[in-house]
Structure 1
Amino acid sequence: MHTTEPCKRIQGLPLRLKAALISLCLLFLGACGPGTADNRPADDAWSSDASTQRSAPSLSASIQSFLEEPMGDAQRTALERALDHGGKVSRTDYMAAWNNYRQCMVDKGYNVPPLHMVNGLVVELMHFDFSGMSDQQQMKFHQDQSACLEQESLYVASAYSDSIVNPELYVDLDVAMVDCLRRHELVPVEYTVAQYRKESKQFTDMTFDGENLTQQQSYERRRKAYSFNFNDTQVRTCVAGVNASAIADELESWKPL
């Protein structure tokens, strides 16, 4: 039995971190070529129907806000070190944080969590297999996982991912996704958040009644709802960092106990 449930204990976290934490615990089942857009277009038509609110004015300011939260010493040290490098977490510290999270879970009696990587980014989404686990065990698992994430990796992972896929620190993840695609000239200049949302809804709502498709075949067909090339390496980086549910079929199931 495969099941997915939201994490507990996320009240009080910044909105962007709530989204990151929930994505680790919740799995929603549910091509135009590159244009000639400038990396930073002068107009804001692409986002005119969406909020371009930012969680912080800079990567360093974002990390400063993270440091106000309770966390383990190793994660705090990594963030403080990032402040000496323009708010950018090193890859060494990023992977160390994830390995510390995994060890934390093992120390609490769980199997080693998998790390699914896409172009150097850990996909912050998990597909759980809770077969054989009681409701009480599942509740304790969510509590333990939240504690390990907050202590060891949550803030470092967010800072590292932001520096790669969302350096403008947009709170609206649809805006962050379109910005990532536009910065790397993966969509035409006229591509907008509204178009991305329309394509995402088509991706989510698409069904194949009467067709005997495997899950892999279903996801491949559904991805065609998007007008950009899903096989492009940089597209996959943007997707992994912002909209991991679109590559959910690639994730291995994790049986915690």
Structure 2
Amino acid sequence: MHHHHPTDRAGRFRRIGGTLAIAALLPLLLGGCGTRQTADPDATGERLASSLSEYAQQLLDEGGDDIGETQRAAIQRVIDTGEVSRSDYEAAYDGYTTCMTDRGHSKPEFYTTSNGVKQPYARVSDGEDTSTEEGIHNDEIACTAMHISVISVLYQAQVGNPNLYSDHDEGAVDCLKRAGLVPKDYTIAQYRDDVNTMNHVDPGETPDTTLDRDDPGVQSCMVTNGHILIGDPADL
């Protein structure tokens, strides 16, 4: 669950213990969530940028020529207004979907977390030869860069990491606290322990953690802070 599953980099998603691995396509990982808890010794308070506008400018500069015109215009609106509109976010994913289907691939499927963030369903290799897999992966990279690479990161930060913490775990804990999903004294160290326990529990068993991994709010805070969800899409 933590950050990126190794198969993610290879563009392949696989079944793990009979469940589906659901992975973000983006190599860009996101930050954290809200109000700094100074009592937590693990909290650094380090930020990706001082505002969403500044972060948008930074990502636009880094994105270069691969960013399509429509996405570029949407990013400029974030720079100007300081927020991502839901309509720009939805339009970016519509553009991504069209980009993939125009290249001959089946329509990408997404589920939406409780805080409105889209995540792709796992694509389980159905015995396609390697060249086809590679072709899909290359098209995913191109369509992602063109349509959703920056807008998706900015939107996830807006809903899951408004203070733009650069440490994912700090962001996730803050998100969980703001949503009232963990006690006020819950620490980043406890969160890391909980995530580790979740990652090593046998399929079908419920991990003994403070976090309820089946809670949609918990899933949202984790997904918007750089985690891959492992689970049955029917439950997500």
- Do the aligned residues in 2 keep the contact of 1:54 with 1:169 (CA within 8 Å)? yes
* Match of residue 228 from structure 1: 211
Q: Which residue of 2 aligns with 1:102?
A: 97
Is residue 154 of structure 2 the alignment partner of residue 171 of structure 1?
no
Distance 1:203 1:54 in 2: 27
- Distance between the aligned counterparts of 2:230 and 2:190, measured in 1? 19
Q: For the residues of structure 1 that align with 2:46 and 2:109, how far apart are their CA atoms?
A: 33
The CA deviation at 1:58 is: 1.4
* Counterpart AA for 1:23: A
- Give, in angstroms, the shift of residue 97 of structure 1: 0.3
> Which residue, out of 71, 76, 79, partners 2:75?
79
Find the residue that maps to 2:232 and give its secondary structure: helix
| Closer/same/farther in 2, CA of residues 200 and 120 from structure 1, 3 Å limit | closer
Instruction: Return the match for 2:111 from 104, 112, 116.
Output: 116
Segment of structure 1 superposing worse, 189-198 or 76-85: 76-85
Distance 1:156 1:226 in 2: 33
Bigger RCO of structures 1 and 2 (CA < 8 A, at least 6 apart): 2
1:54 matched to which residue of 2?
Answer: 47
Percent same amino acid among aligned pairs? Answer: 30
Post-superposition offset of 1:132: 2.9
The one-letter code of the counterpart of 1:104 is C
Distance in 1 (CA, whole Å) between partners of 2:165 and 2:77 is 23
TM-score (ref. length: structure 1): 0.72
Distance (whole Å) between structure 1 residues aligned to residue 81 and residue 45 of structure 2: 26
Q: CA offsets per residue over residues 104-131 of structure 1, 9 Å max, x none?
A: 0111110000011122523435411221
Equivalent in the alignment of 2:131: 136
Asked if 1 retains the 8 angstrom alpha-carbon contact of 2:48 and 2:166, the reply is yes
| Residues 120 and 79 of structure 1: CA distance in aligned 2, closer, same or farther (over 3 Å) | same
Residue 229 and residue 203 in structure 1: after superposition, are their counterparts in 2 closer, same or farther (change >3 A)? closer
Aligned length: 210
In the alignment, the residues of structure 2 paired with residue 136 and residue 193 of structure 1 have an alpha-carbon distance, to the nearest angstrom, of 42
Select the residue among 204, 209, 222 that pairs with 1:239. 222
Aligned partner of residue 206 in structure 1, secondary structure: coil
CA gap of 1:241–1:251, structure 2 versus 1, over 3 A, is farther
Runs of at least 5 residues in structure 2 that lack an aligned partner in the other structure? 1-5, 12-22, 28-33
1:174/1:96 CA distance change after superposition, 3 Å = same
